[in-house]
Structure 1
Amino acid sequence: MTHTERAVVVLEDGSVYSGGAYGARGRALGEIVFSTGMTGYQETFTDPSYHGQIIVMTAPHIGNTGVNAEDAESRRYWARGVVIRDPARRASNWRSNGELEDALAEQGVVGVRDVDTRALTRHLRQAGVMRAGVFSGSALPSGAVEGGAAAREALADIVRGSAGMVGANLSGDVTTPERYTIEPDGPAAATVVAVDLGIKSRTPERLAERGARVVVVPAGTAFAQIEAIGPDGVFFSNGPGDPAAATREVDLLRLVLDAGYPFFGICFGNQILGRALGYGTYKLDYGHRGINQPVLDRATGRIEITAHNHGFAVDAPVEGTSVAPFDGGRYGRVRVSHVGLNDGVVEGLACLDIPAFSVQYHPEAAAGPHDASYLFDRFMSLMRDGALHGSEVG
Structure 2
Amino acid sequence: MRVVIAPDKFKGSLTSAEAAAAMAEGVLAVYPEATVTVVPVADGGEGTLDAALGAGAEPRTARVTGPLGRDTTAVWALSGDTALIETARASGLVLLDPSPETALAAGSYGSGQLIAHALDAGAKTIILGIGGSAMTDGGSGALCALGLKILDRDGNPVPPGGAGLLNAASVDASGLDPRLAGVDLRIAADVRNPLLGYEGTAAVFSGQKGAGAAEQQLLEEALDNWARLLKEATGVDVDVPGAGAAGGFPSGFLAFTGASLHPGFELLSAFTGLDESLTRCDLVLTGEGSLDNQSRYGKAPLEVAARARDAGIPVVAVAGQITLTPDQLQEYGIVAAVSLLDVVQRPQDAMSQAAKYVAWATRQVLEGA
Q: Same fold (TM over 0.5)?
A: no
- TM-score grouping bracket, smaller chain normalisation: 0.3 to 0.5
Higher share in strand: 1
Question: Which fold has the larger relative contact order, with Cα–Cα distance below 8 Å and residues 6 or more apart in sequence?
Answer: 2
Q: What is the TM-score with the length of structure 1 in the denominator?
A: 0.32
Higher share in helix: 2
